Structure 1
Amino acid sequence: NLDADPIHTPANGAFTVLVDSVANAVTNVAINAEAKTVTLTLSTAVTSDQTVTVAYADPTTGNDANAIQDAAGNDATSFAATAVTNNTPAPADTTAPALIITG
């Protein structure tokens, strides 16, 4: 269970996101304890065909308020670059239909 206190949010810099092996800065971190999710907002949008990895660095060795925490206040451990599933939808097909007449 994630800590639901919005004050206990890790700094944007605690995360490293690479999109096609290029750094993409995190501009916001939102934790939804009920959904058990951490949502990162990036400086540049990701497209459906790009490869994405994320790493997290716990800011200190002890338990602190500026880390991803469980409801008991225990910090999540740091993790190295990990591939994530990119669920960005493909862009809509905007090509006009063509009428082809043969014969």
Structure 2
Amino acid sequence: DTTPPQLITTGDTTRPKVSGDQLVLSFSDTGNLDADQAHKPAGGAFTVLVNGVANAVTHVSVEAQAKTVTLTLSTAVTHGQSVTVAYADPTTGNDANAIQ
């Protein structure tokens, strides 16, 4: 599979959602979403800003069948706050601990 998963950013049921300290990202393809906990990306690969202030990712959970990655944040997000997320593949090569 050479097509990378694309983050879905629109739609009521599939766009990124925040509930408390959980940020759920939905992807278009599961080809490179590995549910094996040994292969999940590190929390440090994600940068989450809430109203422009960093909010550390303390846990990452991958649900390949649901096509989702759930990030647990160090601080809960409240209604009306702006949330942005960025991901950086930790290495240049194809590796087991990255969303390719």
Q: Given the two structures, how large is their TM-score scaled by the length of structure 2? A: 0.66
Name the count of aligned residue pairs: 69
- Which structure's CA Rg is the greater one? 1
**Structure 2 SS opposite 1:60:** coil
Gaps of 5+ in 1: 69-74, 76-103
Q: Deviations over 1:54-97 (max 9, x none)?
A: 000001111111112xxxxxx2xxxxxxxxxxxxxxxxxxxxxx
Gaps of 5+ in 2: 1-29
Q: Given the two structures, how large is their TM-score scaled by the length of structure 1? A: 0.64
Distance 2:61 2:77 in 1: 18
| Aligned residue type for 1:58 | D
More strand by percentage:
2
Distance 1:63 1:9 in 2: 14
Counterpart check, 1:11 vs 2:36: no
